[in-house]
Amino acid sequence: MTNRVDGWIDAFDGALRAIAGVATASRPSPAQAVADSELSESQRRHSAGLMRVNHVGEICAQGLYQAQMRFARSDALSVQFRQAAQEEEDHLAWTAERIAQLGSHTSLLNPLWFAGAYALGVMAAQAGDARSLGFVVETERQVEAHLEHHLDSLPEPDQKSRTIVRQMRDDEAQHGAAAQSLGAVEVPAPVRMAMHLMGKVMTGTAYYV
């Protein structure tokens, strides 16, 4: 009973930290050594919008991984999800810092994004470990494609944001590969399509709000 209560307290603390934007990076931002460049007002707004979308993606990653960690059926998989969540927290901290540098704000809908992602994580975990891992693989595949698009869309002078997004893309690819190696099964096509459509709604909204 004590372990169960501790687990729920830990989950609640993680949720509050993610929603409140209290993230601690275990690695320094890859943009730390990159010189800032002059951006026009429109370029700055565009970069901030894209980085806000990326920050929301990391809010969702925290919700997904925390739920999957909490409801995984094996201890080994729970440890894997915990490690992935910790690595994703780097991204959360890096994007929040960059948004502040660009003079903007994180999404006002972060509690909603987290809650929705957590619910999806619970459903994925209830489907069994192999399907839960498959959900991770598909999520990371779509996120990687989304980050590639952002690299094409970010203003060329904004090398600080570009450097962060490149590192995020590489990390997401590693998370997907790790989940695949642990025995992931492919999610059904209708689920992949639903995930894609939900991602479109999230990115279209978070860019502005």
Domain at 157, CATH number = 1.20.1260.10
Residue 147's pLDDT is 95
Q: What is the pTM of this model?
A: 0.88
- CA-CA distance, 8 to 78, in Å (whole number)? 14
pLDDT in tens, 129-147: 899 899 889 999 999 999 9
Is residue 99 a part of any domain in this protein?
Answer: yes
Whether the pLDDT of residue 165 is over 90: the answer is yes
Q: Single out the residue of 131, 139, 154 nearest to residue 72, CA to CA.
A: 131
Is residue 26 a part of any domain in this protein?
Answer: no
Q: What's at 138, amino acid-wise?
A: E
Residue 2's pLDDT is 42
Is residue 28 a part of any domain in this protein?
Answer: no
Q: What's at 172, amino acid-wise?
A: E
Is residue 23 a part of any domain in this protein?
Answer: no
Is residue 11 a part of any domain in this protein?
Answer: no
Look up the domain containing 88 and give its range: 43-206
Is residue 29 a part of any domain in this protein?
Answer: no
Whether the pLDDT of residue 86 is over 90: the answer is no
Is residue 81 a part of any domain in this protein?
Answer: yes
Total number of domains constituting the chain: 1
- CA-CA distance, 86 to 130, in Å (whole number)? 21
Is residue 4 a part of any domain in this protein?
Answer: no
User: What's the first-to-final CA gap in the chain, in angstroms?
Assistant: 41
CB 125 within 8 A of CB 80: no
